[in-house]
Amino acid sequence: MDQRGYEVLGPTIHDSAISYGPIHAIEDLPEGWTSEQGPGSYRLKRRTDGALFGYATGPKSLKNFLHPSEIKLFTAERTNGTFRILSNDGLAPRRAFLGVRACELAAAGVQDRVLIEDRFKDPIYSQRRAGSIVIAVNCSDPSSVCFCTSMGTGPRAKAGYDLALTEVIDGGTHEFLVEVGSETGADLLAGTEYSEASEELRRKSDEVTARAERSIQRQFENAGVAELLKENFDHPRWDDVASRCLACGNCTMVCPTCFCVTVEDMSDVTGDHAERWRKWDSCFALGFSYIHYGSVRLSTKSRYRQWLTHKLSYWHDQFGESGCVGCGRCIAWCPAGIDLTEEVAALRAAAPAEKTNGGGE
Amino acid sequence: MKHKHRIGVFKFASCDGCQLSLLDLEDELVALAGAVDIAFFPEMSSNMRSGPYEIGLVEGSVTTHQDAARIHQIRKQCQNLVAIGACATAGGIQALRNWSDTQQWVNQVYAHPEYIQTLSMSTPISGHVPVDFELRGCPVNKYQLLELVSAALAGRKPNIPTYSVCVECKRRGNICIAVAEGVGCLGPATQAGCGALCPTYSRGCYGCFGPAESASSTILAELLIAQGHPSDEVVRAFRSYNACAWPFRQAAEGKGLT
Ligand code: SF4
Ligand code: SF4
Ligand code: SF4
Ligand code: SF4
Ligand code: SF4
C-alpha cells in the first residue's frame, strides 16, 4: 500500500478506544483486544484469543476522513487595493481504510447519496471518496449497541468494498477468508501471497457471520417508523427525553451519516487576510436553526426531535432511505446514554390518541 | 492618517491572566499594535492616555465599593464595553465568597482586618453596567480575544460559538473520556472556546468557559451523581471559576448544598 502511495488507516488502540489510526505493520492492529459497549459507555477489554479484528466500531467512522470536521475552503488576500482568492491546499492524501465494518460501508453509501449523488456534488467528499480503498472486515464480535441486523446493513459486508475479510479463528488455526469486491481489490490481492479458499474455510466464515448475527441483541422496528414520528410530533415522550438530553451534540458528531456543516468566515486584525472554513455542525446547536432574528429550535425537546425525525423519517423524503444504519455509535457515545431504539420503542408503545401538528418549541 | 480604534484595558478583581492573553499573542501582537491604538493598558505601558475608547476590555469582578463606582466611569468612556474572562462575566473564583460570611473570612485571613474594606459579594461587570459582549474563559482564549477585536475593526459579528465543548472535542477527533474512561467531564454543559483543551489531555473539562447555550448543567449534575460521582465532588465541579453563572449555580444548589 505504501508503495502504491496510499496511507493505510485501520484499527489501533488510540487512548482508550479502538479507532482509526496509521497502520504500518500487523503489530499496530489491536491484537487480543475487544470493546464492551453500552448506552453511554465504552471500555476496552482483553480477549483470550489473538484476534486482530475482534471488536465492534469505535467513535470514528469513514466520515472523519472523507467529510472532514474542519476544512479551509479558501483564503483571500487584499494587496495594494486588489482582492485575490488564493488557491486551495493540494489534493487530499490517498487512503486505504482497513477494518471497515458493514454498517460503515452502508453509512458511506448514505453519505454518497447526500454528498455526491444529490443535486450538489461536494468536491471535498467526492475527491476523498474516489481516492480511497476500502478493505472491509466482517464482524465477529458485535457490541451490545449494534443493531445492523434490524437495519439490514450488517454484520456482513454485502457490497461497496474492494476487499472483504473474515477472520476465522478455530483452535490452533488463524485464517482470513478474502472476498474481492472490485478490480482494485483483485489487483491488490494479486500482489499478496494467498491460496484458494477451502470449502471448510468458507463454511467457517459463514459460521462467524451467523454467530455474530445471533449475538446481536438490540432490536429496532424500522418498518413504519417514518410515519410514526410524523404522527407523534407532540408526544409526551419528547419532553421526557429532553429532561435527560444535554444537547451536547455528540450523537450527531459520531453518527456516520450526519453531514451537516456550518461555514464560518474570519478576517484578521489588519483586514487584509480572510479565510472561509467549513466545520461539522449539529442540529443540537442553537445557531443551527438561526434565521433572521433568532433561532427556531430553542428547546432541547425541539432539537432532539429534529435529530430523530431527520434520521428516521425526513431522510426518507429527502434521500429515499433511512439516515440510520444501526451502528449504535449515538447510543454508546451519548454521555447521557440516550438510546434512540428505546426512544422510538417508547413512542411506539404509547402513541397517544390525540394527534396535532404542534407548534415550534 | 486613518483613525485607529482606541482600546482601553481595565482591571478589576482578577489574577491578570486574561489581560496577559493579549500580550501572549506574540506572533499577532505586532499586527494588533499596528491596527489599533492601545491607549490605556497599564500592564503593558505606563503611557496611560485618557478616554474615550472605542473598545474597553474589562477584566475582573467587582468586589469593592471603589470598583463599583469605577466601572460606571469606565462604561461612560467606552463605546463598546467587553467583559473578558470568568471574573468579569461570572464573578470568578472569588465569587465563592457569595456563599459564605465574607467578614468572617476577612477576620480569619488578615492580621489587621480593620484595614480591609470589601463587598460581601463578588459580582460580574454585567451586574453593574450594560455590557456589549462577554468573552468567556479562565483565562480567555487569546485567539477568541483577537477575533473579537478583528471583528470589531471589520464591523462584523464576532465568531464566538456558544455550543458545547463536546462539539470542539469531537471535531478535534478526541476519544470521549467521559464515555471511554468514566471521567467526570463538564464538557456537555460548558461553552466551547478552549478547543477542548482539557479533554485533549485526558482531563475532564473544568467548566472554565461557563455554561453553554443549552443550560443542561442540572441534567449533567444529576447524571454525574447517578453515575457514581460523589455529590460533593459534583457540587465542587460546578462551583469553581463560574460558580455564580446562573445555570452552574442552579446545578450546584439543586444538589442540596448551599
Ligand atoms: S452494527 Fe453490525 S456491522 Fe456495525 S459494528 Fe456492529 S455488528 Fe458490525
Ligand atoms: S443514528 Fe445512531 S445508530 Fe443510526 S447510524 Fe447514526 S449513530 Fe449509528
Ligand atoms: S440529524 Fe441533525 S446533524 Fe444529522 S444530518 Fe440531520 S439535521 Fe444534520
Ligand atoms: S442525545 Fe445524548 S449525545 Fe445527543 S445531544 Fe442529547 S445528550 Fe448529547
Ligand atoms: S471528553 Fe468531555 S468534552 Fe469531550 S466529548 Fe466527552 S464529554 Fe464532551
A187 close contact with B: CB closer than 8 A: no
Of A67, A113, A250, A257, the residue with max ligand 2 atoms within 8 A of its CB, to mutate for a pocket test, comes to A257
b/e for A234-253, b at 16 or more Cβ within 10 A? ebebbeebbebbbbbbbbbb
Quickly tell me which residue has 453509501 as its cell: A109
Cβ neighbours for B112, distance < 8 A, ≥ 6 positions apart: none
A361 close contact with B: CB closer than 8 A: no
Which residue in chain B has the smallest CA separation from A16?
Answer: B180
Mean pLDDT of all residues belonging to chain B = 94
pLDDT at A4 over 90: no
pLDDT value of position A91: 77
Of A248, A303, A311, the residue with max ligand 4 atoms within 8 A of its CB, to mutate for a pocket test, comes to A248
Whose C-alpha lies nearest to ligand 2, atom 7?
A255
| DSSP designation for A311 | I
pLDDT value of position A361: 44
pLDDT at A359 over 70: no
- Residue A262 phi, psi (nearest 5): -120, 155
Q: Are B183 and A210 in contact (CB under 8 A)?
A: no
A38, A95, B171, B175 from A98: Cα distances, Å:
24, 10, 22, 19
A333·B181 Cβ contact <8 A: no
The number of the ligand 4 atom at minimal distance from the alpha carbon of A333 is 3
β-strand partners of A36 = A43
pLDDT band at B46 (very low <50, low <70, confident <90, very high): confident
What's the average model confidence in pLDDT over B67-93?
97
* Dihedral sign for Cα atoms in the order A299, A303, A306, A312: negative
pLDDT band at A340 (very low <50, low <70, confident <90, very high): very high
pLDDT value of position B258: 46
∠ CA(B52), CA(B55), CA(B59), 5° rounding? 110
By the 10 Å C-beta count (0-12 exposed, 13-18 middle, 19+ buried), B136 is classed as buried
pLDDT at B115 over 90: yes
B181 close contact with A: CB closer than 8 A: yes
Give the number of other CB atoms < 10 A from CB of residue A94.
Answer: 16
Q: Specify the fold of B6-154.
A: Rossmann fold (3.40.50)
CA of A141 from ligand 1 middle (Å) equals: 8
What's the average model confidence in pLDDT over A241-250?
98
Query: Whose CA is closest to A97, among A163, A32, A46, A18?
Result: A163
Which residue in chain A has the smallest CA separation from B169?
Answer: A250
A314, B32, B231 from B227: Cα distances, Å:
34, 47, 10
pLDDT value of position A360: 43
Query: Tens digit of pLDDT for each residue in A75-131?
Result: 999 998 898 998 777 778 899 999 999 999 999 999 999 999 998 999 999 999 999
What's the average model confidence in pLDDT over B70-95?
97
Query: Tens digit of pLDDT for each residue in A311-332?
Result: 999 999 999 999 999 999 999 9
A45 close contact with B: CB closer than 8 A: no
A59·B172 Cβ contact <8 A: no
Spatial separation of the C-alpha atoms in residues B38 and B22, rounded to whole Å: 11
Mark which residues 201-220 of B lie under 8 Å from A by CB: 202, 212-214, 216, 219-220
What's the average model confidence in pLDDT over B212-236?
94
A333·B214 Cβ contact <8 A: no
Q: Which ligand is nearest to the CA of A58?
A: 1
What's the average model confidence in pLDDT over B153-163?
94
pLDDT at A358 over 60: no
Comparison of pLDDT for A225 and A172, the residue scoring more? A225
The DSSP secondary structure of A187-216, one letter per residue, reads: HHHHTS---PPPHHHHHHHHHHHHHHHHH-
CA of B59 from ligand 4 middle (Å) equals: 34
Q: Are A22 and A12 in contact (CB under 8 A)?
A: yes
Whose C-alpha lies nearest to ligand 1, atom 4?
A103
CA of A69 from ligand 3 middle (Å) equals: 14
CA of A263 from ligand 4 middle (Å) equals: 23
CA B21 to chain centre: 12
Comparison of pLDDT for A164 and A3, the residue scoring more? A164
pLDDT value of position A352: 60
pLDDT band at B2 (very low <50, low <70, confident <90, very high): confident
Amino acid at A207: E
Spatial separation of the C-alpha atoms in residues B139 and B19, rounded to whole Å: 9
Query: Whose CA is closest to A7, among A93, A67, A91?
Result: A93
What is the side-by-side strand order in the sheet with A132-137?
Answer: A17-22, A7-14, A95-100, A132-137, A163-170, A173-180
What's the average model confidence in pLDDT over B129-155?
95
Residue A181 CB less than 6 A away from ligand 4: no
B33 close contact with A: CB closer than 8 A: no
Q: What is the crossing angle of helices B246-253 and B217-226, to 10°?
A: 30
B166·A253 Cβ contact <8 A: yes
DSSP H helices in chain A: 63-66, 102-115, 123-130, 148-151, 183-190, 199-215, 225-231, 237-242, 250-254, 300-309, 315-319, 329-332, 340-349
Which residue in chain A has the smallest CA separation from B150?
Answer: A269
Name the segment(s) of chain B with CATH classification 3.40.50.700: 6-154
Whose C-alpha lies nearest to ligand 2, atom 2?
A330
Whose C-alpha lies nearest to ligand 3, atom 8?
A260
B35 close contact with A: CB closer than 8 A: yes
Chain A hits for B159, Cβ within 8 Å: 264-266
A32, A243, B74, B251 from B218: Cα distances, Å:
40, 10, 36, 4
Mark which residues 120-179 of B lie under 8 Å from A by CB: 146-147, 149-151, 153-154, 156, 159, 161-164, 166-167, 170-179
Query: Tens digit of pLDDT for each residue in A271-319?
Result: 899 999 999 999 999 999 999 889 999 999 999 999 999 999 999 999 9
pLDDT at A243 over 90: yes
C-alpha cell at B179: 464515555
pLDDT at A355 over 70: no
pLDDT value of position A172: 86
| DSSP designation for B209 | T
Q: Which ligand is nearest to the CA of B170?
A: 5
A253·B159 Cβ contact <8 A: no
pLDDT at A351 over 90: no
Query: Whose CA is closest to A339, among A230, A270, A260, A240?
Result: A240
pLDDT at A208 over 90: yes
- The mean-pLDDT minimum among A156-165, B10-19, B41-50, B177-186 falls in B41-50
Distance from CA of A41 to the nearest CA of B (A): 5
pLDDT band at A350 (very low <50, low <70, confident <90, very high): confident
Percent of the residues in chain A that have a pLDDT greater than 90, as a whole number: 88
Q: Which ligand is nearest to the CA of A282?
A: 3
